[in-house]
Amino acid sequence: MLDSPLQQIVCCMGQPVAGNPTQFMMQRAFAAARLEWVYLTLEVAPVDLQDAVRGLRAMGFRGANFTIPHKVAVTQHLDELTETAALMGAVNCVYREEDRLIGENTDGKGFVQSLADVGGLSGKKVLLLGAGGAARAIAVEVGLAGAEQISVSNRTAEHGQMLVDLLNDKVPAQADLLPWQDKLKIPEQTDILINATPVGLLDADAELPLDLDTLETSTVVADVIINPPETWLLREAERRGCPTVNGLGMLVHQGIITFELWTGIKPDAVVMREAVEEFLEI
């Protein structure tokens, strides 16, 4: 047990970023909840990660976010992982229970909640593009949320296969690898197509190699990209009449879950959404 009260400080450890929408969103949410908390963005090199986590513990920080490149490596320096974080092998959020640091992954949960308005996941057939950290978190939660089938397509097939193996081993959904050569054809009766690659980040015209003539109008198309929220994929999907979901819902919903883990209080979701929109000037 700590002798002194915890500092009302949380932080984000990762690579340097020009601007951090999460920091902006969290500061607004703390203010709306009348909490005098501070969210710091800290640049931490991989070689310093262990010391940084020790510092976080020693200084009584209430929690932290971890981003690229620390999401996997940080798991070794925590006292405990939640069941899903252990399953994914990656953590984006750390919270305290007394003096114990617990690692959780809220990315996939936030994504699943962002789909609630377009019909949920039960019994759905999903095509997931990408097999990195975000794709992994999404795939596991989508599988746990009741999707029937998850096809994974990834630039590097062996990374895709590793995710498929994890899913078949750990979640009830059936997973397979869809090789991504040339323009990927979207299988018939795909209910949900998810882009979980960084293609589209800071480039609204960046195209994914997809055969969009095979995209059915009933397919929900989701993109994890936050900035800009309207990617090439979402624009093309909207033009074809598909329901779409941008990356802002995932960001806000993972933030809501994280805020509650840190503070024990439900944040104001509208304030958080508006903060992200203000930050992105949309």
> Is 156 near ligand NDP (CB under 6 A)?
yes
> Is 131 near ligand NDP (CB under 6 A)?
yes
CB 183 within 8 A of CB 212: no
Size of the site for ligand NDP (CB under 6 A): 24
Sole binder of ligand NDP in the list 25, 250, 257, 275 (CB under 6 A) = 250
Least Å distance, CB 52 to ligand NDP, is 19
> Is 91 near ligand NDP (CB under 6 A)?
no
Upstream peptide bond of 69 is cis (omega within 30 degrees of 0): yes
Sole binder of ligand NDP in the list 11, 64, 85, 199 (CB under 6 A) = 199
Q: How far is CA 65 from its chain centroid?
A: 11
Q: What are phi and psi of 210, to 5 degrees?
A: -125, 145
CA separation, residue 256 to residues 4, 24, 100, 110, 179 (Å): 27, 13, 22, 8, 35
Which of these ranges, 10-18, 93-101, 168-176, 223-231, lies near ligand NDP under the rule CB under 6 A? 223-231
Residue ranges in 30-69 that form contacts with ligand NDP under rule CB under 6 A? 68
Sole binder of ligand NDP in the list 63, 103, 132, 267 (CB under 6 A) = 132
Sole binder of ligand NDP in the list 226, 245, 256, 261 (CB under 6 A) = 226
> Is 135 near ligand NDP (CB under 6 A)?
yes
Active-site hit among 71, 109, 124, 125: 71
Sole binder of ligand NDP in the list 201, 269, 271, 280 (CB under 6 A) = 201
Helix pair angle (107-114, 133-144), 10° resolution? 60
Least Å distance, CB 137 to ligand NDP, is 8
CB 186 within 8 A of CB 193: yes
Sole binder of ligand NDP in the list 170, 198, 236, 268 (CB under 6 A) = 198
> Is 6 near ligand NDP (CB under 6 A)?
no
CB 166 within 8 A of CB 136: yes
71 is a catalytic site residue: yes
Residue least distant from ligand NDP (Cβ):
132
Sole binder of ligand NDP in the list 29, 126, 224, 256 (CB under 6 A) = 224
Residue ranges in 99-118 that form contacts with ligand NDP under rule CB under 6 A? 107
> Is 229 near ligand NDP (CB under 6 A)?
no
List, by residue number, the catalytic residues.
Answer: 71
The binding site for ligand NDP (CB under 6 A) comprises 68, 107, 130-135, 154-156, 159, 196-199, 201, 224-226, 247, 250-251, 254
